[in-house]
Structure 1
Amino acid sequence: MSNTTTVTVRSRWLPAYLAGVLALSLVTGVLAWVELPRPELWPLLLLCLMGIVSFQIRELDVGLRISFSFLSIILVASAAISGVFGAWVVGSVSMLVDRNQRRWSATMFNAAMSGLLGAAGGLTYALLGGVEGDGMLGKDTAELAATVGWPLLAADVVACLVNAVLLSGVIHLDQGVPFGVQLRRVLTGSGVAYIGYGIIGLLFVILWFPAGLGAFSALLIMAPLLAARWAFVQYGEEMRSHERTIDTLVTALGTKEPAAVDRSHRAAALAEWVAEELGLPPGQIGTVRYAATLHEIGHLGVATRLLRRPADSLTPAERRVLDRHCVMGARMIEGIDFLEDARSGIRHQHERFDGEGRPDGLAGDTIPVAARIVAVVAAVERALVDPTTGGRAAIADVARQLQGDPGRFDPDVVAATIVALDKHGVPLRTTTGVSS
């Protein structure tokens, strides 16, 4: 699994950041060439070829904005097979040829970043006493663990951290995503996988030298990885199929209530930010995003005349009919397997934290976390519209409204929402309309 970025300059500091990373990578390569042992040519060429192939056949989207390739495994193995300079070369060369990237700035940044990952891993391996090449021959299991295993796994962890820091920096400057939020996103999305990279990279090295298989070990490693890639491609296609289903449902809602499309996208963005602030795992963040996107899908079962009228003009009976949209929405998506967990977030969005809400009178933590987040997100949408001017209300005013009814919302979710709004601002633009 590998993280790369497409760069579109949006911050005046971004060009300086890109130039700094590129310069640091070049200086690192030159110093490694001058000061450290140089690798044998043919293993280096083989590793470069493997790196280029793995990057070119990577799967660009397996969910959670993460791409999958074998390059990280090749870089880890390069630290022990070709040393610091070799790992830097493998990382740099592998990303210089990118058939999917048309911006030279992004290609150069990705190559520089990958070179730094290789060099950081190689340097960590060397500093921890890791042996290279034929130095592994004749060692018993305990010696291999001390001089190859642990240094290589440590090199893998360092490469993971360098990747997360460099990538989070460029995305922060390019897209405005808070550095800490992006750092956590990268680490939770690919951090655990790096443990697997280290183990597979170690296996590659052991097969190459102590087992005496040499270059043939590349075939033994690549074959199962290609099978794994196939599985990830299928998973990515399944995720894209889910997104198409969501888009179809939102489009259907938009044919009846056009303003609901924008509200759905804003709610999804804010709900995802709030879920990240609460530290929810990636799978649960996806559930929250689905629930927020479809939180008004039940409006398809509500008379259009009620949806078009201002909320304060509805009679109590009409308001009850409109409020039933959450139950109707949960029923509408029943049977869609990947939305099963999101259904409870839609159904229970009108529950109150004090237990006085609808439809089932749930209270406190018995209310699904997706529903607690959707409740606040929907309230933010309403609060953002200033009733006196029709313009956008200040975030401080929104915070006061959310905190004005202590029994309505989960206070932890409210606090996370305020933090998310302060960090990211208001998602997209605010439109007026009935939202509940």
Structure 2
Amino acid sequence: MTSRTEIPSPSRAGPYYIAGLAVASMALGLLAWRYGRHPDLAPLLLLSAMGILSFNLREPTVTSRIGFSFLSIILLASAAILGPFGAWCVGVLSQAIERDPKVMWFQRVFNIAMTGIIGLVGAGVYLAIGGAQDLDQVSGFGQLALRVGLPLIVADVIQCLTNAVLLSGAITLFQGVPFWVFVRRVLVSSGVAYVGYGVIGFLFVVLWYPVDLGAFSALLIMAPLLAARWAFVQFGEELRSHERVVETLVTALGTKEPSAVDRSRREARLAEWIAEELGLGPHQIETVRYAATLHEIGHLGVPTRLLRRAPEAVSVAERRVIDRHSVMGARMIEGIDFLEDARSGIRHQHERFDGDGRPDGLVGTEIPIAARIVAVAGAVEDVTGMAGTLLPDIDTADVARTLQSDPGRFDPTVVTAVLAALEKHGRPQAASTVVDR
């Protein structure tokens, strides 16, 4: 799995990062050409063609900002078969043919440079720990395991880490996601799969040389690769179906309370930023995003006349009905498996950190983290949005004063995180929840 950037616009430091990466990739490629072995043309062309095919058959949406292709397997095999320069060429050429018009030029440059570096680093590690160069001279299980298998597995791990670090650097600079949060997201999403890629890459090399099938081994290895791609396509489609379910629920809410749609999406974006600042894992971040997106879904069970009435015109009894929306919302999504963890975030969004909240009077960290984040995100939306119209500027000092004016209401750690997120990102904008690139 070789991840690719989804960068909306360059930041101040981002272009320098991409330029530096491009220069580094070119310099490393030239050094590999000058001081390393020159690969045979036929395997270089074949592996480059397989890399291009892998890239064009990629599944673009496995998780947020991460896609799947079997290019890393091709790069790993290239490390042993072609050497550093050949692996660099395969990486560069595989990304050079980009047919998606939505991909901006600096994304193309980044992806080409990053993939070339990943290929070269893998080959360098393979050689550094004693990987065999004359593969047709390797025989016997022991030699294959020690001189090919083990070096390839180590190179595989280093390629995975290199991919995670380089990609996370770009995402941090361009989108403000904390570096180690995104590193962990990439590793959780693709780290286990990389172990399987190492095994397949090893089999590819063994079939090519010790078994002496040569280029025909590429045909044999394509079957499991295409099967793996099919599995990831199904996984990606399942994730997109989850997003469509959430979008349907949001749309239903919008038919009753139109202003709630953009409000919920802004809060979801802010809640995701808060979760990233807190260093939560990928699954927890997704749970927080779902809970924030659907935190007002219980309004579907509240009479429309109460939702449209001015707060000062609502009676005590009517306020109790409105305040039950969190419990009703949690009940509405009961039975939807992928939203099960988000239910507690919806149900407990009105709990107070000091224990005087509703519906269950939970105290402190007894309150689910998703609920604590949703509560703060909602309060920030109340400060930065007025009757559906966003304020022209956001003053984090005003936000801080509002959140800290009632010391027992919010988790102080979450308050600190939201202030950091607002300083870094500014006011969140509404965006569709559907991920369908």
Q: Tell whether the structures are fold-level matches, with TM greater than 0.5.
A: yes
> Per-residue CA shift, 1:357-413, capped at 9, x if unaligned?
2222333333332222212221222233589x9946522332343334343333333
Q: Secondary structure at the match of 1:62?
A: strand
1:124 corresponds to: 125
Corresponding residue of 1:41: 41
What residue is the counterpart of 1:433 in the other structure?
none
What residue number does 1:423 align with? 424
Summarize deviations over 1:167-216 as a string: whole Å, max 9, x none: 23333444454545444443443344333333332332233334444334
The code of the aligned residue for 2:282 comes to P
Whether the 8 Å contact between 1:385 and 1:393 is mirrored in structure 2 is no
Q: 1:205 to 1:101 in 2, by over 3 A?
A: farther
The structural deviation recorded for 1:105 is: 4.1
1:93-149 C-alpha deviation (Å, 9 max, x unpaired): 1111222245444333322221111111111222222222426513552x4444333
| Letter paired with 2:328 | M
AA partner of residue 50 (structure 1): M
Separation (CA, whole Å) in 1 of partners of 2:276 and 2:105? 32
Structure 2 residue 95 is matched with structure 1 residue 99 = no
Aligned pairs for 1:82-161 (under 5 A) are 82-101=82-101, 103-134=104-135, 137-138=138-139, 140-141=141-142, 143-161=143-161
Aligned partner of 2:302 in structure 1 is 302
TM-score, structure 1 normalization: 0.88
Aligned equivalents of 1:398 and 1:299: distance in 2?
A: 26
Partners of 1:14 and 1:291 in 2: CA distance? 32
Change (3 A) 1:281 1:19: closer
| d(CA) in 1 for partners of 2:351, 2:237 | 35
User: What is the CA distance between 1:328 and its match in structure 2?
Assistant: 1.5
Output the TM-score relative to the length of structure 2.
Answer: 0.88
- SS of the equivalent of 2:11 reads coil
Partner of 1:22: 22
The answer on whether the counterparts of 1:101 and 1:107 sit within 8 Å (CA) in structure 2 is no
* Cα 1:12/1:414, change in 2 over 3 Å: closer
Structure 1 regions of 5+ residues with no counterpart? 430-436
C-alpha distance in structure 2 between counterparts of 1:334 and 1:70, whole Å = 37
Change in 2 beyond 3 A, CA 1:242/1:213: same
Q: Tell me: CA distance 1:327–1:131, structure 2 relative to 1, closer, same or farther (3 Å).
A: same
SS at match of 1:67: strand
Q: 2-side partners of 1:125 and 1:303: how far apart?
A: 66
Residues in 1 aligned to 2:136 and 2:412: alpha-carbon distance in whole angstroms? 59
- 1:53/1:192 Cα in 2 relative to 1: closer, same or farther (>3 Å)? same
SS at match of 1:162: helix
Q: What code does the residue aligned with 2:99 have?
A: R
CA separation in 2, counterparts of 1:415 and 1:200? 46
Partner-residue secondary structure (3-state), 2:65 = coil
Bigger Cα displacement from structure 2, 192-201 vs 253-262: 192-201
Residue 186 of structure 1 corresponds to: 186
Aligned length, in residue pairs: 427
Instruction: Decide whether the 8 Å contact of 1:292 with 1:374 is kept in 2.
Output: yes
Distance apart, 1:324 and its partner CA: 0.8
* Letter matched to residue 22 of structure 2: L
Pick which of 209-218 and 262-271 moved more. Answer: 209-218
Do the aligned residues in 2 keep the contact of 1:178 with 1:424 (CA within 8 Å)?
no
Q: In structure 1, the residue corresponding to 2:270 is in which secondary structure?
A: helix
**1:200 aligns to what?**
200
Is there any run of 5+ residues in structure 2 with no aligned partner, and where? 431-437
Once structures 1 and 2 are overlaid, which stretch shifts more, 309-318 or 21-30? 309-318
CA distance in 1, matches of 2:260, 2:76: 48
From the superposition, tell whether residues 296 and 386 of structure 1 become closer, same or farther in structure 2 (CA, over 3 Å). Answer: closer
The aligned residue for residue 403 of structure 2 is 402
Aligned to 2:233: 233
Equivalent residue number for residue 433 of structure 2:
none
Q: What is the distance in 1 between the residues matched to 2:425 and 2:255?
A: 30
CA contact (8 A) 2:4 2:65 kept: no
Q: Distance in 1 between matches of 2:385 and 2:275?
A: 23
TM-fit CA distance, 1:9: 4.5
- 1:414 corresponds to: 415
In structure 1, distance between residues paired with 2:394 and 2:94:
49
Counterpart code for 1:258: P
Match of residue 219 from structure 2: 219
CA 1:100–1:148: 2 relative to 1, 3 Å? same
Q: Determine if contact 1:168/1:182 at 8 Å carries over to the other structure.
A: yes
The structural deviation recorded for 1:81 is: 1.1
Alpha-carbon separation, structure 1, partners of 2:250 and 2:410? 26
> Per the alignment, in what secondary structure is the counterpart of residue 21 of structure 2?
helix
The aligned residue for residue 311 of structure 1 is: 311
Distance 1:364 1:250 in 2: 30
SS of the aligned residue for 1:409 comes to coil
Structure 1 residues 65-87: Cα deviation after superposition (integer angstroms, max 9, x where no partner): 21110001111121111100110
> What code does the residue aligned with 1:59 have?
E
Identity, % of aligned positions: 64
Aligned partners of 1:4, 1:390: CA distance in 2, in Å?
Answer: 33
Moved more, 268-277 or 401-410: 401-410
- 1:284 counterpart residue number: 284
Instruction: In structure 2, give the amino acid aligned to 1:41.
Output: L
